[in-house]
């Protein structure tokens, strides 16, 4: 008998021939979050099994594994040779932390002679004999005892199942460049795409001296938290003050934000292409602010031709985004009160329905190509993990 953690995985079941590609990525991601712990990782059909760990580490191992996309659920439990008496011996010693229970047997190993229902009933009898205060309740049990008879000759027994992060293993859906501000939305947008298997690079624009060192540190803290889910993040930070000053000096104030956002997109597209990213990711949500109306998004979208811009939050309410931010542990950092470069030189009446011709007219007052090249050349790179 061995103490184990049973890892059940989700959608990667569906991937046919690509299955081993997804399974290998999942294993890599499991190893990444368990760096520094002692354990053995084994693959059996449809499951990963962790053994040979220090018992006291179990709660932490479970917590780390909950970060891994592609895991459907996790159970601490026991592995025992598939022999009726050995299974019964384990079940007789289980600690039933509730007044009612039921046994659910799954028989992936069809050579096991006893049917699932019959075996569940037998094991239920074992539990009743050894726990005087518990009753069977097949409809709404407080505790479900899972008895998973697998094809590797072992049976896995567990009474607790914790949901995993679901989604797809990091690295299975290419790489995206996340426009990362210090706000609430963009880390959540990064999380959503990482959940679908994207690796992340991130790009942050800052405006010293109008924005502070702390604002930049806050972005690094957010990237660090995201990297716990997504794996290592290449963070690019770009000084943006001189671009904003140029816009402020030369362009109509009301067009300031839209012109600025279009320059950000041009820089993002170049940096993305240079670093093997196949998409730009933004935290925009329809109608949230002037730069996120349909017309504004149309005008910002129009110039990025070589890759999609993913906006996973486009249809989400702020409250929903905040709930996710809390769940993933970015909210408290995001609400620290440091300025973002988007709030520098903010016009009183930004256009909410910009028209492309008019925006291009404002842009013609600048040497955009040069501004973009300068920013790309000044981008500083840091690996966050």
Residues of this chain that interact with ligand ATP (CB under 6 A) are 179-181, 183-186, 203-205, 282-284, 288-289, 291-292, 340-342
CB nearer ligand ATP, residue 173 or residue 237: 237
Q: Residue 179 binds what, of Mg ion, ligand ATP, none (CB under 5 to 8 Å, by partner type)?
A: ligand ATP
Least Cβ distance, residue 190 to ligand ATP (angstroms): 9
Residue nearest to ligand ATP (CB): 183
| DSSP conformational letter for 315 | T
Give the SS3 label for residue 68: coil
User: Which DSSP helix (H) or strand (E) runs through 38?
Assistant: none
Least Cβ distance, residue 135 to ligand ATP (angstroms): 51
Long-range CB contact pairs, 117-126, < 8 A, 24+: 119/147, 120/147, 122/88, 123/87, 123/88, 123/91, 123/147, 126/88, 126/91, 126/92
Q: Residue 103 binds what, of ligand ATP, Mg ion, none (CB under 5 to 8 Å, by partner type)?
A: none
Residues 6+ apart with CB under 8 A from 83: none
Residue 362 lies near Mg ion (rule: CB under 5 A): no
CB nearer ligand ATP, residue 29 or residue 316: 316
Question: Nearest-CA neighbor of 166 among 197, 187, 144, 188?
Answer: 197
Annotate each residue in 135-174 with x if it binds Mg ion (CB under 5 A) or - if it does not, as one string: ----------------------------------------
Burial category of 72 from C-beta neighbours within 10 Å (exposed 0-12, middle 13-18, buried 19 and up): middle
Least Cβ distance, residue 319 to ligand ATP (angstroms): 13
Q: Residue 284 binds what, of ligand ATP, Mg ion, none (CB under 5 to 8 Å, by partner type)?
A: ligand ATP
Helix %, strand %, coil % of the chain (to 5): 45, 20, 35
Judged by CB under 5 A, which of 75, 181, 300, 333 binds Mg ion? 181
CB nearer ligand ATP, residue 105 or residue 211: 211
């Amino acid at each position: 008998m061995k103490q184990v953690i049973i890892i059940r995985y989700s959608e990667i079941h569906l991937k046919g021939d690509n299955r081993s590609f997804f399974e290998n990525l999942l294993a890599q991601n499991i190893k990444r979050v368990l760096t520094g712990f002692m354990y053995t990782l084994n693959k059996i059909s449809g499951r990963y099994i962790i053994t040979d760990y220090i018992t006291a580490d179990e709660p932490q191992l479970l917590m780390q594994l909950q970060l891994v996309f592609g895991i459907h659920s996790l159970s601490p439990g026991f592995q025992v040779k598939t022999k009726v008496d050995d299974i019964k011996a384990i079940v007789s010693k289980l600690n039933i932390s509730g007044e009612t229970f039921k046994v659910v047997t799954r028989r992936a190993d069809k050579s096991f002679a006893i049917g699932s229902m019959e075996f569940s009933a037998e094991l239920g009898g074992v539990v009743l004999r050894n726990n005087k205060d518990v009753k069977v309740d097949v409809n709404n049990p407080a505790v479900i005892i899972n008895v998973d008879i697998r094809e590797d000759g072992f049976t896995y027994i567990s009474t607790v199942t914790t949901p995993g992060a679901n989604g797809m293993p990091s690295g299975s859906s290419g790489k995206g460049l996340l426009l990362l501000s210090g706000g609430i939305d963009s880390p959540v947008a990064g999380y959503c795409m990482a959940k679908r298997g994207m690796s992340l690079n991130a790009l942050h624009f800052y405006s010293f001296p109008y924005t502070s060192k702390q604002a930049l540190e806050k972005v690094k803290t957010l990237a660090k938290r995201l990297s716990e889910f997504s794996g290592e993040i290449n963070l690019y930070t770009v000084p943006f003050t001189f671009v904003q000053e140029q816009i402020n000096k030369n362009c109509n104030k009301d067009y300031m934000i839209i012109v600025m956002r279009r320059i950000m997109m041009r820089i993002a597209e170049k940096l993305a292409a240079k670093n093997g990213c196949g998409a730009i990711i933004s935290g925009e949500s329809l109608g949230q602010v002037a730069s996120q109306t349909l017309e504004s998004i149309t005008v910002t979208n129009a110039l990025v031709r070589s890759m999609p811009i993913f906006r996973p939050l486009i249809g989400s309410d702020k409250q929903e985004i905040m709930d996710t931010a809390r769940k993933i542990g970015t909210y408290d950092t995001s609400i620290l009160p440091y300025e973002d470069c988007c709030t520098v030189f903010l016009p009183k009446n930004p256009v909410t329905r910009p028209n492309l011709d008019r925006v291009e007219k404002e842009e013609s007052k600048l040497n955009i190509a040069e501004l973009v090249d300068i920013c790309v050349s000044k981008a500083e790179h840091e690996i966050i993990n």
